[in-house]
Amino acid sequence: MTAIVTWKPNCRICRRPLDLPTLDLGLQPLANNLEPRAEAALKARRYPLAFTRCLYCALGQLTHVVAPDALFQRYLYTPSQSAVFRTHFASLAQTENAARSPSRGGRRPFACDIGSNDGLLLSFLKALDWRVLGVDPAQNLAAEAETRGIPTVCGYWGPDAVSRIHSETKGEGADLITACNVLAHTDDWKSFFLDVTRSLAPNGRFVVEVPDLMTMLEDGTFDLIYHEHLSYPSVTALAKVAHAAGLVVTDAPLIPIHGGSLRVTMQREGDGVKDGSIDRRAVEQGWGLYGPRAYIRFAEHAKQAAKAVGDAVRGLRAEGKTVVGYSCPAKASTLIHAAGLIHGEISWIGEDNPAKVNLFMPGTGIEVLPGAVLKTAHWDVAVIWAWNIADELIQRLPRGKTALVPLPTVRIVET
């Protein structure tokens, strides 16, 4: 299948013209589209990857959109591989179980997870006696979730999933809808939110987790920018689109996952539902989320950070050291290409997700090997591409080795 890329000159919330790109990362391959052969990986098609902002909505977004089928029909990301994410989703399930409304007529509560991946979050809710339904377009992940006993609609969030929810709940709607790190993948926010409103029970909760735009700009973690992430939300942006769909943001705390994320809870507008976004929106405005300075600083930091990573790796290579990678998240691709690293400078990458093993990084031909190789092969320094779970990954490395954590700033850790 040939992917199609579309230029998006207007904001996906207000439809007003977007500002000029503040960070242009050039032509890059699709980060999660690893190839079974090095030759194919080196010839991977590349697409524009540029970041800009809406002057009115405080929403960061990409200037181009790649057709979703090219990105998500076979998806290689699975949070179940990380203890950090298992703990995170277990905690989220406990939190939502404690917050649920009293059961009506003794029925068990119902939850739907949009972008349910392999069913990790829903498996925790199911263990708490919830009825569950996943929605995910990746055929491989939907099949894996089904084998774990998680009913899954293999498709995108939309009318089919809404109908399934109403069928499963006999028209009462879902008590909980979650969308963890999936809203950023969505092009049509208006339809997405309206379908959520149609699917929620009267007292139901919609919980979204997204990387926080303000934190990303402040920390300079530009590798969160890749083709899957069409949007980089703020509470201001989420509150606007929620209101247009008849929802109210009731809570929006910062959480540490993914280097700094928002957990935004929404409910239907109505009596007793208070706007909990006011304080955070004031913080965002005061910090300068609407002005140009934060974005200019971010672009400058990104260029400096990419150069620092490239210089660090090449300096180690000049000392005769073998540099490898550990973990192969999508953000690794952005950073590797921005730093201009090639096969040979990074000898190979160890990865604990078996779905990515024995494949090759798009655009570079760097081979991905089983993570266990890090314990047996010769190497001197491992770049921890998944810097957001660096502490967990460093604990898995052999003693007497060196880890390089690339962002938010380059740091060296001796194991």
Tell me, what's the pLDDT at 105?
Answer: 65
Residue 1 lies in a domain: no
Closest CA to 277 of 263, 291, 290, 289: 263
> The tokens of 219 are what?
């920390």
Residue with tokens 């950023």: 184
Domain count, the chain: 2
Rounded CA-CA distance 33/44 in Å is: 9
H/E segment holding residue 411: strand 411-414
- Residues 211, 308: one domain? no
Pairing of strands 200-211, 323-326: unpaired
Residue 410 lies in a domain: yes
Tell me, what's the pLDDT at 342?
Answer: 86
Rounded CA-CA distance 261/239 in Å is: 16
Domain that holds residue 244: 79-272
- Residues 385, 240: one domain? no
- Residues 254, 311: one domain? no
Reading the chain (415 residues) residue by residue, the pLDDT tens digits are: 456 899 999 999 999 999 999 999 999 999 999 999 999 999 999 999 999 999 999 999 999 999 988 887 776 667 777 788 899 999 999 999 999 876 666 789 999 999 999 999 999 999 999 999 999 999 989 999 999 999 999 999 999 999 999 999 999 999 999 999 999 999 999 999 999 999 999 999 999 999 999 999 999 999 999 999 999 999 999 999 999 999 999 999 999 988 899 999 999 998 789 999 999 999 999 999 999 999 999 999 999 999 999 999 999 999 999 999 999 999 999 999 999 998 889 999 999 999 899 999 999 999 999 999 999 999 999 999 999 999 999 999 999 999 999 999 999 999 9
Instruction: Choose the final residue of a domain: 222, 242, 272.
Output: 272
> The tokens of 34 are what?
């690893």
Tell me, what's the pLDDT at 1?
Answer: 45
Residue 5 lies in a domain: no
Residue 55 lies in a domain: no
- Residues 119, 239: one domain? yes
Residue 316 lies in a domain: yes
Tell me, what's the pLDDT at 103?
Answer: 64
